[in-house]
């Protein structure tokens, strides 16, 4: 069985980045969305990205970015993937993929079974689907709130694209999520924080240990 992928998302400091790398993260997520407590300005984002070794995915999370922002994020050449967490259509996702030549992750916000089914529309546009919990109505944030959905909706899931799971994961429940869904890659943000936007190196270590023991 191949090793499960681990993405630690919303990192903002060198110490927490190094903790993620030390404990075996396959991907690191950096956030550029001003409403988020994990937001990084471009200079800080690019500075952290340059510290990530080439074998680790360098994923920048954005919400409905325009072409100017996409260009600003990707111009230095230190990003390996873009995670689109807004209402981007399959056509828009395909445009960004063509414009950047990067791997594109499309987030699908899930509450019901038909949300899972909607991922099929992104076949041929995105490179990976990330199933995340739908945040409460009226929320300013599209994710990173520790909300989870019914993982049973993904039991036996076989989509056309590689996929990942996010939403309410932490060291205590990630093994159960993996067992229930068979997911190949798990993504955590608030589940390894001591406060919103503040990553905890011990929680990062515990999460990675729990995944690797699954």
Catalytic residues: 9, 132
Cα–Cα dist 21/147, whole Å: 25
Tokens of 37: 């407590």
Question: SS3 sequence, 66-130?
Answer: CHHHHHHHHCCCCCCEEEECCCCCHHHHHHHHHHHCCEEEEEEEECCHHHHHHHHHHECCECEEE
Cα–Cα dist 145/129, whole Å: 19
Residue 44, C-beta contacts closer than 8 angstroms, at least 6 positions apart = 12
Q: Is 187 helix (H, G, I), strand (E, B) or coil?
A: strand
* Cβ neighbours of 91 (radius 10 Å): 9
Cα–Cα dist 168/184, whole Å: 17
Cα–Cα dist 57/69, whole Å: 20
């Amino acid at each position: 069985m191949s090793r499960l992928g681990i993405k630690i998302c919303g990192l903002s400091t060198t110490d927490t980045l190094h903790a993620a790398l030390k404990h075996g993260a396959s991907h690191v997520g950096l956030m550029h969305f001003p409403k988020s407590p994990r937001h990084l300005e471009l200079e800080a984002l690019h500075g952290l990205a340059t510290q990530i070794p080439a074998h680790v995915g360098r994923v920048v999370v954005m919400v409905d970015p325009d072409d100017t922002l996409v260009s600003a994020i990707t111009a230095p050449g230190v990003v390996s993937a873009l995670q689109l967490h807004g209402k981007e259509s399959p056509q828009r996702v395909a445009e960004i993929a063509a414009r950047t030549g990067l791997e594109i992750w499309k987030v699908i916000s899930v509450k019901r079974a038909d949300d899972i089914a909607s991922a099929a529309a992104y076949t041929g546009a995105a490179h990976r689907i990330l199933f995340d919990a739908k945040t409460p109505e009226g929320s300013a944030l599209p994710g990173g709130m520790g909300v989870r959905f019914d993982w049973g909706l993904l039991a036996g899931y076989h989509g056309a694209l590689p996929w990942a799971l996010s939403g309410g994961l932490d060291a205590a429940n990630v093994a159960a999520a993996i067992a229930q869904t068979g997911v190949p890659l798990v993504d955590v943000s608030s589940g390894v924080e001591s406060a919103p936007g503040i990553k905890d190196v011990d929680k990062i270590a515990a999460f990675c240990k729990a995944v690797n023991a699954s």
